[in-house]
């Protein structure tokens, strides 16, 4: 299992990075992205610290820790610039908080994210066919979410991604220990979105290729 979307105490998660990573490792997660919520106020604080702890943990653990950021509730016009700043600060994984059904994300966020230098569009809600095609063309992964609420649009995302050949990934959006899941649970989430075990394996390959 590869999980590229999690949160620590550097945003609204409840675990320090070391405990988050150890708990993930203990249930068989092979790689984990720490992608705390960021905007222009805090990316320069969060990213260097996650980069440092990831390097330390990667020297002594068998799980691969990837430092990243989730650009969250940022005005669409600012997403591209913040993504560029995040790269320059050392983020290896850039996620954008998409237009989920359960939060008032600004309209146009999905489109702006897909036009920027990002890796994953998280829980994108009812994204359009044009946005899915853009994701395919840019090689940006569309997230199937295991998180309550955000998962409500998984079926829609899966249907359009399959129709237009966009690549997907399964992530937990972990904020607390109970949010972490093992491989079997992740496969059930994928199948619950109307996909198959083969689609799950393809998602794992997509995540591995991104790494």
Query: Which residue range is the domain that position 38 belongs to?
Result: 2-210
Q: What is the chain's pLDDT, residue by residue, as a tens digit (211 residues)?
A: 999 999 999 999 999 999 999 999 999 999 999 999 999 999 999 999 999 999 999 999 999 999 999 999 999 999 999 999 999 999 999 999 999 999 999 999 999 999 999 999 999 999 999 999 999 999 999 999 999 999 999 999 999 999 999 999 999 999 999 999 999 999 999 999 999 999 999 999 999 999 9
Predicted local distance difference test score (pLDDT) of residue 100: 98
Would you call 142 helix, strand, or coil by DSSP? Answer: strand
Predicted local distance difference test score (pLDDT) of residue 96: 99
* Structure-token pair, residue 69: 């950021």
Q: Domain count for the chain, please give it.
A: 1
Give a three-class secondary structure readout of 20-83.
Answer: HHHHHHHCCCCEEEECCEECCCCHHHHHHHHHHHHHHHHHHCCCEEEEEEEECCCCHHHHHHHH
pTM of the model: 0.97
Predicted local distance difference test score (pLDDT) of residue 12: 97
Helix 76-88, helix 43-60: angle, nearest 10: 40
CATH value at residue 167:
3.20.20.140
Predicted local distance difference test score (pLDDT) of residue 129: 98
């Amino acid at each position: 299992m590869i999980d590229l979307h999690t949160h620590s105490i550097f945003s609204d998660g409840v675990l320090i990075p070391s405990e988050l990573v150890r708990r993930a490792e203990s249930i068989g997660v092979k790689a984990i992205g720490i992608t705390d919520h960021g905007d222009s106020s805090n990316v320069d604080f969060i990213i260097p610290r996650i980069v440092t702890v990831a390097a330390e943990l990667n020297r002594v653990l068998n799980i691969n820790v990837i430092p990243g950021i989730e650009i969250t509730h940022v005005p669409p016009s600012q997403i591209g610039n913040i993504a560029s700043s995040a790269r320059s600060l050392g983020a290896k994984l850039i996620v954008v908080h998409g237009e989920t059904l359960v939060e008032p994300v600004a309209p146009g966020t999905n489109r702006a994210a897909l036009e920027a230098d990002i890796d994953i569009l998280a829980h994108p809600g009812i994204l359009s066919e044009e946005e899915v095609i853009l994701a395919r063309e840019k090689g940006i992964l569309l997230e199937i979410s295991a998180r309550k609420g955000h998962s409500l649009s998984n079926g829609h995302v899966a249907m359009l991604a399959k129709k237009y050949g966009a690549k997907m990934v399964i992530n937990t959006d972990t904020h607390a220990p109970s949010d972490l899941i093992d491989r079997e649970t992740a496969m059930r989430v994928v199948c619950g979105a109307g996909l198959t075990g083969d689609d799950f394996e393809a998602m794992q390959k997509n995540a591995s290729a991104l790494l």
